Amino acid sequence: MGQYGMKKSIIIIGGGIVGVAAALKLQLDGHKVRLIDRGPPGRETSYGNAGVLSESSVVVLNNPRLIKALPKLLLNRSNGVRYNPWFVLRRLGWFIRFLAHCRPAHGRHAALSLRGLLQLSLDQHKKWIKAAGVDHLLRHGGGWFKLFRSAKAFKNYAAEMDMMRAVGVKFTVVEREQIRQIEPGLAPIYYKGVLMDETCAVSSPADLTDAYLGMFQAAGGVVECAVVSGLARDDDGWQVRSAEQVFRCDDVVLAAGAWSAEIAGWLGYDIPMAWERGYHLHFAPAPTSNGTPESTPALGRPVLDVEGGFVVAPMRPHLRVTSGVELTDRDAPPNFQQINKSVALAGEAVTLGAQIEDKPWMGRRPTLVDSLPMIGAAPRHHGLWFNFGHHHIGLSMAPGSALLLSALINDTPPPLDPAPFRASRFAI
């Protein structure tokens, strides 16, 4: 029990969308919450994603098809996945554990677990977006369009569609002619498309995080700018240290995305995390025939070119091209090959106007070996909670993770089965 009756003082480390959503929920629960980030919240990985609020992304990367695709991926020429061989060798144990999850049984378990968390999250996103008065950011439904250039690629997608059907995801297979009716801005290069009927999207992930942060502060939550450099517990609770200050609290939530494993490591936890880095670049809307830029983006929703391994997403006011996965050290210097190739391939699909920034943005998707996030109590420290590892779908899963975490902290019935997300599923 905390010093505020049943309510506690809680520090959240990390102000990405996952930390902000957790802070908002816990503050609304009546706790006294302090959110600490080393910079402005929502400006790391949560800033530069494709804006998809998915309830359909239930098939994890380490599914049985990955094993079949492995020989080709090892050539390291796929634009969708690139790896640094030295990183793979150094982290061979992580990769073996990741690949060991490419089993049908794990695929089904992960799909069911993610589906529950994604649906809970989308429902809560809609409520918070309404409460924050930022409806203009939200595209309701049909917010994710996967596109296939060849019959072969579409055939390879059959297993994913089977899994989506099995867990209740609603989607529509679209033929070549209909693709252009749905997205007139696309060049006629696609053989088929799969439109996710209920998936939504936002036109600015940063504005969304800011809106939730605004609600958190309006409810009395406190935001601190500090680099957390130490964590310790004594009889009075937790001490969260930066070079300048010591913050005290009853409970700590670690939600620092790709940096969470390092921070948990200070307390002796060996978190099986790697980083799937990704990049983006922005482009002005395509110029019209008389040379003036169009006032609306060429696309109505984020589209994924499955073979090309890139996404083009309409953001306000630009088009955002995002790249696939780069497996390398979290802090290795950026390598722009994939985003440059993505931009070239995207130019075949949509007309891009002028490039906005000189240098691509880079983010780090935090991924655990079973491709499920870690949400719940730290196994060996009372009052320490984990909330990280949301890999490709952290923007989507943040609110559901917050609801689950809040139920665990408040010791109330959880909104879904917490077992798949427990930290204790690993010997850490």
Ligand X SMILES: Cc1cc2nc3c(=O)[nH]c(=O)nc-3n(C[C@H](O)[C@H](O)[C@H](O)COP(=O)(O)OP(=O)(O)OC[C@H]3O[C@@H](n4cnc5c(N)ncnc54)[C@H](O)[C@@H]3O)c2cc1C
Q: Shortest approach of ligand X to residue 280 CB, angstroms?
A: 6
Q: Shortest approach of ligand X to residue 121 CB, angstroms?
A: 9
Q: Shortest approach of ligand X to residue 314 CB, angstroms?
A: 12
Torsion angle of C-alpha atoms 86, 76, 342, 16, degrees rounded to 10: -40
Query: What is the rounded CA–CA span in Å between residue 4 and residue 250?
Result: 10
Q: Shortest approach of ligand X to residue 292 CB, angstroms?
A: 30
Q: Shortest approach of ligand X to residue 175 CB, angstroms?
A: 25
By CB atoms closer than 10 A (0-12, 13-18, 19+), residue 214 is middle
Contact 275, 365 (CB under 8 A): yes
Tokens 């991924």: give the residue: 367
31 is written with which tokens? 């706790």
Estimate the crossing angle of helix 104-132 against helix 158-166, to 10 degrees.
70
For residue 66, CA distances in Å to 102, 159, 189 come to 7, 12, 26
Estimate the crossing angle of helix 104-132 against helix 394-410, to 10 degrees.
90
Q: Shortest approach of ligand X to residue 366 CB, angstroms?
A: 6
Contact 372, 389 (CB under 8 A): yes
CB nearer ligand X, residue 96 or residue 227: 227
Question: Shortest CA distance to 82 belongs to which of 258, 391, 363, 339?
Answer: 339
CB nearer ligand X, residue 89 or residue 243: 243
CB nearer ligand X, residue 192 or residue 277: 277
CB nearer ligand X, residue 245 or residue 288: 245
Phi then psi for 63, rounded to 5 degrees?
-110, 170
CB nearer ligand X, residue 110 or residue 395: 395
Q: Shortest approach of ligand X to residue 338 CB, angstroms?
A: 10
Q: Which residues bind ligand X (CB under 6 A)?
A: 13-19, 36-39, 44-46, 49-52, 54, 227-228, 255-259, 278, 280, 322, 363, 365-366, 388, 390-396
Instruction: Give Cβ neighbours of residue 266 (< 8 Å, ≥ 6 apart).
Output: 230, 231
CB nearer ligand X, residue 299 or residue 395: 395
Question: Shortest CA distance to 309 belongs to which of 333, 355, 343?
Answer: 343
CB nearer ligand X, residue 103 or residue 197: 197
CB nearer ligand X, residue 301 or residue 391: 391
Q: Shortest approach of ligand X to residue 363 CB, angstroms?
A: 3
Nearest-5° Cα angle at 341, 337 to 347: 150
